[in-house]
């Protein structure tokens, strides 16, 4: 079996691909082998070895296995390939490719292989998987069809567009720029759902009930199943239709093709086209590389970035590329500055100023088409939404294993029935086989998949109401298992509405008030009015601010600085001083780079003789700017350390003169950013968000580790961490520059420890530089120093986006479940690698406003409630069997209404973010608490459902096995009532709401744990004892018949009545005892539907036991119990309830909650 490895250029969605051909029909597993078996059965039948009854049981067994073999080809792609296809080593000889995606990226798919001719005449292969085309030219390596996204800069700057012939070739290679979603028909979707494993299992159970003479109940259940599936299909079609409506409507754009401007539809754009982009209502049709002109883009639809971004052209206004021509385009590095993503909106543009550039008729910016269709940024988000809709589920593997665990008891019980039943040669083998089959199928209740889906959907709906949108619902249970909560600082924990506190490290402006008073200069924090001219010049020009519709937009920090400066910025990028006749024009920007930790601009200045002088203005991290200064002040480190320790965000300023005889467009970043003169420090303060401290406290008190991962300075980050009580005492990994030795040092430099000798009472802080050292330094047991100390580190400062990813992946590799919360820009990598990534919108309101319901809404709600209560009372008083069926119908309709809410969980563009699976529309980090609350609630709900399922299955297995041989059998009405009660309880449990406060105790992360296994076994032991004791008493009162006729029609008797009452009450006890409630979700009394249904059922069963309403007993085929025995039954039920309650609570106290893993 050959595994073909993928070279991914677009996504990492594919794990492996294998190649196959269809075998002849007779060799398929469902054809030839069964033809032989049927022939063998006919030969066996003609010989008359066994009775006709046994022969037809054999035929039924072969037919069931045959049907399952056929259905498995629909359920499992792996089985289908094994059953019908042969594996081919040479892909060029194959017709089908089996594509296996990476985990949580969809399901295995069979894709048709297509052949094509490459440009050099060679044969090539390709297939399409999840709207992405993969190709192979050499027969060895498949890769996503590459788009022109990694060529040298010269390739783009010298591009002259494509011709019609090139467009034809591009169409065959990449397809059209159309995000086509083909909607399946109702019939196709219904057949798909009707052949799903669980639906087939339900239909099989219905047929068994029919054979066991439960006709009325069976046919009604089958009809409701079909209605339920039809309703789900309609909702699925509606959701898919909404996804289709998210795609763009084509419109006309100006494209430079065939060396002239042409008007072309956006669907006919291909990579290599030159297109004019202008401000318009429609979104950008594809991913574009800006070549000439400027754009201001709103990317909130994709990234959640609320601040519009300025996109710079690859070619400067002077005509030259701003990078070296041989430099390769790297989207990870250049996309933020030069790429206009599909799905975003252009809110301002300017055309090229160079006359040699072909000017578009609409004077738009000129851009190069990079990616089209589903390979764009918008297409990627759309695919995430499309292929995550099918992943609303709990842990499938654990579910399967738990059912297998229960199946062992069912098989043992059915084997007991078969062995004991066959001892009587007169017993009907057909009836015996039917009963054995019913015992096995009783392990899985029909409600199981619905309830597990509802547990997740309920959390989805709750999150949406809180303004939190999720594109990958399968991650919700992970939120209940989180160990580490990681936060970005600026814009996440602290507000990004920064305040400029002042400047320091420079002499005061001449004639300032402070200078007149004789204060020392260069040390005190000066107001901006007293700052020297050089400092103000850097602040007024070294930024990325811009004017859009007469509004100044850009980074909040830069806006805060310009707001207090006596300078203004014009639309032409000219900074003008209000107090002096001076202006500086921004000629060229070297934008902020998170790796370089600085930005700079080249400005022009006119002197008194009208000569043009060019200056370089720069700002950045103090430790970075320090290495670029010609002269470093003596108190440089002391000053920025002092204000960083006070929680200020300190930025170093510098400038230098380039002279007048300079070609600005040819000046590279390396040439500009050197030999600076120090221009001072500017100090900003960023207050904490209102709910940050409360959210961090809640997370810490609920057994979570909180850490901060920021690009800010370590001293500022440590101060904020101490404010939030993320850490009390911190040590920073520091390098001795003279000896190159590393050691741990406190922020105020009062305490030092050698590496490995640091005390455990201290938390650790690691800088980006220190992290690089820790990754390389080796440790005897952990491999690297970083792996050893990563769980003790509370603050990561001055780290790059790539280093943020390393932090998350290292924690995950050590078995930690992580949540990462950031603003969705520099944190994208970390957000994607985290188990639970939460992107928040920086400038959004911190808290959602609760709008009270109007009087009309309240009145309508109360009226509807009254009508439902009246109908409920009317139905409850009815003794008509038909009315009971209608009651069941209404119960199932309630489930349908609950599932119809799935349509509200569909995430729409603008709500979702390509940054992370979760997107909060509010900037408060409290959203992390809300997600964890819902995650824990989902986990606990799933766990208690499985406990209840296990106990009910064991009780039913006993009732249907040992007691079946004694003639115990339920009537049609009894089965209907029991099914209704259980369905209602499961439904009400799934609707439990989490508590507002997170608890210190943690839920178990999986089903198989000591508490769950022990409580199930001990509770069943109590139930078993109760059943055996009371059944024995029944035999004493009403002696057992010597021979039981299993084929006789149902007739009420004492044993049947007692076992039915016990069965219902024991299962009700199971729901009540195993409902967890506090500290994760509302208590039993707060979950009013479950509480009321439990009380109502208990009263009903007590009335049946005491015979209060003889007509009710007759309707449900129950006999009157002897007076003394009634009290014995009730006494046994009370003792059973108390015993199981005590067993569960004792085990819950001893091993009921999980423990937070230690970080030492």
Determine the Cα–Cα distance for residues 1141 and 614; give it in Å rounded to an integer.
Answer: 83
β-strand pairing of 836-840 with 818-822: parallel
Question: Which residues are known catalytic residues?
Answer: 488
Determine the Cα–Cα distance for residues 1123 and 1107; give it in Å rounded to an integer.
Answer: 10
Q: Are 793 and 785 in contact (CB under 8 A)?
A: no
CB atoms within 10 A of CB 1030: 21
Angle 1053-1057-1059 from CA coordinates, rounded to 5°: 120
Buried b (16+ CB within 10 A) or exposed e, 513-526: ebeeeeeebeeebb
Query: Would you state the structure tokens that stand for residue 817, as one six-digit string?
Result: 């479940």
Buried b (16+ CB within 10 A) or exposed e, 821-856: bbbbbbbbbbbebbbbbbbbbbebeeebeeeeeeee
Cα–Cα distances (Å) from 265 to 180, 255, 257, 367, 826, in that order, read 15, 9, 13, 16, 34
Which long-range contacts (C-beta less than 8 Å, at least 24 apart) are formed by 1098-1103? 1098/1065, 1098/1068, 1101/1061, 1101/1064, 1101/1065, 1101/1068, 1102/1130
Alpha carbon 710 to chain centroid, angstroms: 23
CB atoms within 10 A of CB 774: 23
Half-sphere exposure of 823 (CA within 13 A, CB side): 22
Look-up of token digits 């309609």: 234
Determine the Cα–Cα distance for residues 272 and 367; give it in Å rounded to an integer.
Answer: 10
The helix/strand count (H/E) of the chain reads as 35, 39
β-strand pairing of 677-685 with 705-709: unpaired
175: left (phi over 0), alpha (psi -120 to 50) or beta: left
Look-up of token digits 């677009």: 10
Cα–Cα distances (Å) from 955 to 99, 442, 589, 932, 1061, in that order, read 44, 10, 75, 35, 13
Alpha carbon 734 to chain centroid, angstroms: 37
Alpha carbon 545 to chain centroid, angstroms: 34
Preceding omega of 277 cis (within 30 degrees of 0)? no
Determine the Cα–Cα distance for residues 603 and 586; give it in Å rounded to an integer.
Answer: 4
Nearest to 968 by CA among 955, 986, 979, 983: 955
Torsions phi, psi of 1104, nearest 5? -65, -40
Determine the Cα–Cα distance for residues 1109 and 1099; give it in Å rounded to an integer.
Answer: 12
Look-up of token digits 């993969």: 134
């Amino acid at each position: 079996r050959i595994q073909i490895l993928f070279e991914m250029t677009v996504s990492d969605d594919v794990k492996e691909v294998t190649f196959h051909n269809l075998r002849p029909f007779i060799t398929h597993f469902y054809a030839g082998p069964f033809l032989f078996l049927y022939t063998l059965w006919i030969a066996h039948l003609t010989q008359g070895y066994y009775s006709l009854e046994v022969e037809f049981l054999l035929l039924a067994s072969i037919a069931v296995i045959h049907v399952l073999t056929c259905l498995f080809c629909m359920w499992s792609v792996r089985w289908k390939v094994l059953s019908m296809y042969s594996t081919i080593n040479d892909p060029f000889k194959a017709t089908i490719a089996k594509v296996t995606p990476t985990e949580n990226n969809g399901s295995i798919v069979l894709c048709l292989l297509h052949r094509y001719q490459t440009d050099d005449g060679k044969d090539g292969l390709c297939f399409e998987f999840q709207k992405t085309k993969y190709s192979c030219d050499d027969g060895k390596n498949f890769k996503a069809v590459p788009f022109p996204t990694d060529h040298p800069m010269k390739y783009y700057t010298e591009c002259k567009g494509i011709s019609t012939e090139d467009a034809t070739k591009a169409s065959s290679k990449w397809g059209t720029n159309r995000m086509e979603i083909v909607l399946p028909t109702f019939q196709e979707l219904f057949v798909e759902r009707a052949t799903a494993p669980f639906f087939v299992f339900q239909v099989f159970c219905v047929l068994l009930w029919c054979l066991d003479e439960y006709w009325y109940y069976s046919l009604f259940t089958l009809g409701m199943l079909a209605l339920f599936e039809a309703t789900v299909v309609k909702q699925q079609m509606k959701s898919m239709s909404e996804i289709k409506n998210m795609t763009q409507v084509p419109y006309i754009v100006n494209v430079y093709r065939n060396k002239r401007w042409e008007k072309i539809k956006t669907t006919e754009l291909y990579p290599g086209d030159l297109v004019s982009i202008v401000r318009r209502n429609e979104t950008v049709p594809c991913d574009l590389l800006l070549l000439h002109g400027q754009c201001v883009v709103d990317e909130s639809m994709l990234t959640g970035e609320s601040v519009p971004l300025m996109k710079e052209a690859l070619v400067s206004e002077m005509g030259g590329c701003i990078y070296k021509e041989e430099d390769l385009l790297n989207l990870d590095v250049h996309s933020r500055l030069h790429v206009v993503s599909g799905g975003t909106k252009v809110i301002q543009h300017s055309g090229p100023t160079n006359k040699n550039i072909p000017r578009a008729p609409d004077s738009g910016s000129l851009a190069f088409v990079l990616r089209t269709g589903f390979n764009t940024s918008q297409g990627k988000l759309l695919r995430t939404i499309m292929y995550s809709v099918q992943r609303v589920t709990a842990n499938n593997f654990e579910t399967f294993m738990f059912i297998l665990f229960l199946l062992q008891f069912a098989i043992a019980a059915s084997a007991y029935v078969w062995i004991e039943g066959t001892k009587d040669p007169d017993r009907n083998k057909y009836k015996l086989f039917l009963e054995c089959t019913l015992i096995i199928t009783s392990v899985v209740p029909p409600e199981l998949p619905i309830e597990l889906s509802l547990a997740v959907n309920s959390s989805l709906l709750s999150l949406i109401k809180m303004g939190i949108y999720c594109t990958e619902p399968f991650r919700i249970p992970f939120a209940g298992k989180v160990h580490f909560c990681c936060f970005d600082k600026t814009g996440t924990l602290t507000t990004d509405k920064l305040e400029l506190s002042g400047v320091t490290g420079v002499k005061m402006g001449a004639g300032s008030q402070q200078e007149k008073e004789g204060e020392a200069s260069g040390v005190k924090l000066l107001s901006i009015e007293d700052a020297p001219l050089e400092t103000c010049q850097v602040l007024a020009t070294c930024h990325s601010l811009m004017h859009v519709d007469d509004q100044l937009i850009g980074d909040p920090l830069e806006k805060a600085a310009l707001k207090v400066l006596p300078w203004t910025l014009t639309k032409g990028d000219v900074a003008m001083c209000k107090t002096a006749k001076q202006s500086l024009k921004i000629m060229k920007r070297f934008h902020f780079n998170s790796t370089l930790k600085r930005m700079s601009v080249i400005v022009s200045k006119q002197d008194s003789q009208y000569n043009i002088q060019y200056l370089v203005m720069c700002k950045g991290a103090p430790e970075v700017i320090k290495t670029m200064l010609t002269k470093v002040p003596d108190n440089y480190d002391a000053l920025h350390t002092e204000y960083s320790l006070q929680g200020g965000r300190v930025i170093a300023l510098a400038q230098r003169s380039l002279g007048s005889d300079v070609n600005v467009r040819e000046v590279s970043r390396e040439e500009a950013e050197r030999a600076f003169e120090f221009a001072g420090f500017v100090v900003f303060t960023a207050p904490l968000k209102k709910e940050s401290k409360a959210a961090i406290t809640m997370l810490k008190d609920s057994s979570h580790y909180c850490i901060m991962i920021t690009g800010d300075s370590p001293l500022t980050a440590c101060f904020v961490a101490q404010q939030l009580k993320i850490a009390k005492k911190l040590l920073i990994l520091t390098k001795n520059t003279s000896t190159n030795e590393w050691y741990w040092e406190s922020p105020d430099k009062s305490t030092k420890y050698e590496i490995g000798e640091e005390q455990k009472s201290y938390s650790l802080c690691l800088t980006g530089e220190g992290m690089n050292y820790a990754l390389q330094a080796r440790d005897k047991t952990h491999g690297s120093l970083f792996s050893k100390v990563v769980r003790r580190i509370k603050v990561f400062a001055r780290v790059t986006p790539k280093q943020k990813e390393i932090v998350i992946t290292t924690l995950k590799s050590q078995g930690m479940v992580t949540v990462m919360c950031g603003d969705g820009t520099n944190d994208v990598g970390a957000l994607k690698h985290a188990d639970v990534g939460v992107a928040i919108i920086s400038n959004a309101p911190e808290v959602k406003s609760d709008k009270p319901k109007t009087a009309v809404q309240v009145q309508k709600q109360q009226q509807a409630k009254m009508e439902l209560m009246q109908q409920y009372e009317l139905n409850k008083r009815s003794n008509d069997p038909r009315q009971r069926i209608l009651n069941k119908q209404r119960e199932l309709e309630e489930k349908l209404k609950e599932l119809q809410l799935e349509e509200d969980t569909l995430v729409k563009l603008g709500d979702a973010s390509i940054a992370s699976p979760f997107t909060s529309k509010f900037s408060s980090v409290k959203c992390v608490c809300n997600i964890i609350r819902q995650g824990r609630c989902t986990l606990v709900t799933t766990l208690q459902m499985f406990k209840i399922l296990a106990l009910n299955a064991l009780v039913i297995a006993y009732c249907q096995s040992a007691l079946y041989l004694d003639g115990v059998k339920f009537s049609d009405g009894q089965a209907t009532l029991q099914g209704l009660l259980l369905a209602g309880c499961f439904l009400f449990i799934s609707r439990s709401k989490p508590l507002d406060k997170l608890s210190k105790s943690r839920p178990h992360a999986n089903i198989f744990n000591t508490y769950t296994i022990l409580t199930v076994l001990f509770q069943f032991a109590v139930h078993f004892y109760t059943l055996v004791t009371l059944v024995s008493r029944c035999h004493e009162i009403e002696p057992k018949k010597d021979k039981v006729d299993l084929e006789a029609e149902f007739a009420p008797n004492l044993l049947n009545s007692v076992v039915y009452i016990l069965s219902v009450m024991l299962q009700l006890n199971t729901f009540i005892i195993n409902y967890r409630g506090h500290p994760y979700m509302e208590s039993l009394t707060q979950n009013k539907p479950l509480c009321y249904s439990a009380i109502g059922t208990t009263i009903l069963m007590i009335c049946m036991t005491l015979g209060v309403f003889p007509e009710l007993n007759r309707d449900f085929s129950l006999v009157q119990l002897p007076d003394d025995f009634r009290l014995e039954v009730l006494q046994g039920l009370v003792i059973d309830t108390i015993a199981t309650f005590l067993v569960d609570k004792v085990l819950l106290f001893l091993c009921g909650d999980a423990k937070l893993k230690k970080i030492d």
